[in-house]
Amino acid sequence: MNQSIKRIGIMTGGGDCPGLNAVIRAVTRKAIMENHWEVVGIRDGYNGLYHGNFVDLDLFNTSGILQQGGTILYSSNKDNLFQYQVEENGNKVIRDVSDVGIMNLKQAGIDVLFVVGGDGTLTSARDFSRKGVKVIGIPKTIDNDLASTDATFGFSTAVDVATEALDRLHTTASSHHRIMVLEVMGRYAGWIALHAGIAGGADAILIPEIPYDIDYVAAKIFRRKELGKDFSVIVVAEGAKPKNGEMVVQAVVEDSPDPIRLGGIGAKVAHDLQTLCGNESRATILGHLQRGGSPSSTDRILSSRYGIAAVELAEQGKFGNMVTLRGTQMSYDSLENVIGHKTKNVEPTSELVRAAKSLGIVFGDEKVDVYRVLNQNK
């Protein structure tokens, strides 16, 4: 046990995610039961660090939260203390107020800060580490796009939700001879769409890593009609884009560290396919349903493992690192390296993509006799 540690703090930043409470629970239980450390929760992410919004955590108030969605510490995805909006003389200006957060940690007697978040939240964690704060990072994102770890918690639950949605859309698609398009999250990575599409028996999967030709997707639908299947189900990642086209941006949030909000590609794909194929088409945007609710058993276990491994890093004095999953083993990587990596994206020639294609799923990049099929059905 690290004798220099008496009190630790834990915060959750960025978007909410199934499994956050399981991490909080695991960190708290191991820290108290094995190391006799005091544990402090920091509410509302970095905003709570700035305002000193702290709460003591113990075995009692972290009991019963393993299966609970969201985060009991709340979160914020707009607060970066290195570029924080403050009011001066009636004007809103951007200032580096990170020293205020460091002062609040010192006044609270917090020796180690555990930061649970994705790339934006962990970027600030790295910056605090550079300023001498003892930081341990824990990766969180349903998008599964952090390069230094094989899996992030929250991803499994998001895939389960999307898979169930595809199952339900199949029945409506079949009943009404429709094309049903499901738009899922993932930002610039197609992991959720790829996994859910395979698990849910989608006819086409459109992801950011493989720009699509809508005619190739239409050809798949026509082939299904020739086989007597007068309906189709398509899953589209929110960052998918047509060849020589752009991603569909729903909104730009100026005061956010990540201002681009993707969304709307599902409606575009549904419209284009209805025009080409003639079937009535509908788009469903799954949205935040993927991030809410109780975590899957896989995410509960992974979250707990991450929490335990994070405390073990602190015990060993390995600060400035993020816990990772490598194969079946827990490991770690430096925050400097984590933030320096590009995001982890789907490799278009990967075994999983090849497996999907072997199942007859198209990605809109196939060079088949598309125009022959299209002309036959005009």
Give the model confidence (pLDDT) of 140-167 as tens digits: 999 999 888 999 999 999 999 999 999 9
Q: Quick check: 244 and 212 in contact, CB under 8 A? A: no
pLDDT given at position 377: 46
CB within 8 Å of 68: residues ≥ 6 apart: 21, 294
Residue 312 in this model has a pLDDT that exceeds 80: yes
pLDDT given at position 254: 66
Q: Which residue has the higher pLDDT, 76 or 255?
A: 76
pLDDT given at position 50: 95
The residues spanned by each domain of the chain are: 7-153+292-340, 159-290+347-376
Whether pTM exceeds 0.95: no
pLDDT given at position 255: 63
| CATH architecture for residues 7-153+292-340 | 3-Layer(aba) Sandwich (3.40)
Active site residues: 143
pLDDT given at position 256: 62
User: Above pLDDT 70, what percent of the chain?
Assistant: 93
- Alpha carbon distance 186, 207 (integer Å): 9
Residue 133 in this model has a pLDDT that exceeds 90: yes
Q: Does domain 159-290+347-376 have CATH number 3.40.50.460?
A: yes
Give phi and psi for 220, each to the nearest 5. Answer: -60, -40
Give the mean pLDDT of the chain: 91
- What pLDDT band is residue 195 in, cutting at 50, 70 and 90? very high
Same CATH fold assignment for domains 7-153+292-340 and 159-290+347-376:
yes
- The length of the chain is 378
pLDDT given at position 258: 65
The average pLDDT across 361-367 equals: 87
pLDDT given at position 214: 94
Residue 284 in this model has a pLDDT that exceeds 70: yes
pLDDT given at position 378: 43
How far the first Cα of the chain sits from its last, in Å, is 73
- Alpha carbon distance 221, 276 (integer Å): 10
Give the model confidence (pLDDT) of 103-125 as tens digits: 999 999 999 999 999 888 999 99
Residue 349 in this model has a pLDDT that exceeds 70: yes
CB within 8 Å of 358: residues ≥ 6 apart: none
Residue 372 in this model has a pLDDT that exceeds 50: no
Give the model confidence (pLDDT) of 218-247 as tens digits: 999 999 999 999 999 999 999 999 998 887
Strands 321-326 and 329-334 turn out to be: antiparallel
The average pLDDT across 63-72 equals: 94
Helical residues (DSSP H) of 39-141, grouped into ranges: 45-51, 98-107, 119-130
